[in-house]
Amino acid sequence: KAGVTQTPRYLIKTRGQQVTLSCSPISGHRSVSWYQQTPGQGLQFLFEYFSETQRNKGNFPGRFSGRQFSNSRSEMNVSTLELGDSALYLCASSLEGPGANTGELFFGEGSRLTVL
């Protein structure tokens, strides 16, 4: 079974631009969540989607947004990029349903965003 796939793996943007990152979850997983990892702040929760609905959101400005499609694939978008948005963005999926809630998240390899 294929793991969580994130694209692109690396990208460089300039301040003020926007970026879209993509995540394909493990087949059958309907929950997708996003995390930002930086040396200073560590790993921080961005948001979680389940069956195309945002179920929860972390403490990030409105420039950070996301969505989930009917096939459970998810995208996150960051508009008006700032230098501080440089980070590794991790996507994770989980299997949820009757008798299947283990709480475990399966992570992708991440998208490394550099803002110049």
Partner 1 sequence: AQTVTQSQPEMSVQEAETVTLSCTYDTSESDYYLFWYKQPPSRQMILVIRQEAYKQQNATENRFSVNFQKAAKSFSLKISDSQLGDAAMYFCAYRFSGGGADGLTFGKGTHLIIQP
Contact residue for partner 1 among 21, 105, 113, 115 (CB under 8 A):
105
Q: Does 60 bind partner 1 (CB under 8 A)?
A: no
CB of 103 to partner 1, least distance (A): 4
Judged by CB under 8 A, which stretch of 15-23, 51-59, 63-71, 74-82 contacts partner 1? 51-59
Q: Which is nearer to partner 1, 12 or 80 (CB)?
A: 12
3-class DSSP state for residue 3? coil
The footprint of partner 1 on residues 14-43 (CB under 8 A) is 33, 35, 42-43
What secondary structure, in 3-state letters, does the chain show? CCCCEEECCEEEECCCCCEEEEEECCCCCCEEEEEEEECCCEEEEEEEEECCEEEEECCCCCCEEEEECCCCCEEEEECCCCHHHCEEEEEEEECCCCCCCCCCCEECCCEEEEEC
Contact residue for partner 1 among 26, 92, 113, 115 (CB under 8 A):
92
Residues that bind partner 1 (CB under 8 A): 33, 35, 42-48, 55-56, 58, 88, 90, 92, 101-110
